[in-house]
């Protein structure tokens, strides 16, 4: 595992854990509280789908086909122009976990 947190604030840790086989994906997702994926573009968003299949909420941009998650209460689809809303959402998620 390599740490990529040299440019992040001291209260945030980012780790790249390497590639996963298909069989390892769901068990790995089950270990986490949220998926954060503010992507510029997704034609489907398999990682979003796989995360939702594990009942794990997602924090994504509104540039995916998954914008219905706001109404379904299974995550947050936010405009990339709304950086403050991303920050507020992350803070709320930290508070509930």
SS3 of the chain: the string is: CEECCCCCCCCCCCEECCCCCHHHHHHHHCCCCCEEECCCCCCCCHHHHHHHHCCCCEEEECCCCCCCHHHHCCEEEECCCCHHHHHHHHHHHHHHC
| Predicted pLDDT at 1 | 45
Q: Do 32 and 55 form a contact (C-beta atoms < 8 A)?
A: no
Question: What are 34-64's pLDDT values in tens digits?
Answer: 999 999 988 888 999 999 999 999 999 999 9
Within a domain: 39:
yes
CATH number of the domain residue 70 falls in: 3.40.50.2000
Structural domain boundaries enclosing 69: 21-96
Burial class (CB in 10 A: 0-12, 13-18, 19+), 26: middle
Look at residue 1 and tell me if it is in a domain: no
Q: What is the pLDDT of residues 68-92, one digit of tens each?
A: 999 999 999 999 999 999 999 999 9
Residue 37 lies in a domain: yes
| Structural domain count, the chain | 1
Q: Is 0.75 surpassed by the pTM of this model?
A: yes
Structure tokens at 11: 């209260």
Inside any domain, residue 44: yes
- What does DSSP say about strands 35-37 and 58-61: parallel, antiparallel, or unpaired? parallel
């Amino acid at each position: 595992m390599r740490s990529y947190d040299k440019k992040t604030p001291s209260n945030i840790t980012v780790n790249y854990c390497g590639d996963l086989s298909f069989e390892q994906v769901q068990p790995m997702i089950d270990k986490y509280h949220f998926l954060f994926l503010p992507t510029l573009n997704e034609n489907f968003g398999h990682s979003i789908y796989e995360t939702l299949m594990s009942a794990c909420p997602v924090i994504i941009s509104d540039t995916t086909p998954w914008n219905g998650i706001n109404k379904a209460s299974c995550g947050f689809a936010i405009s990339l122009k709304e950086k403050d809303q991303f920050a507020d959402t992350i803070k709320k998620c930290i508070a509930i976990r």
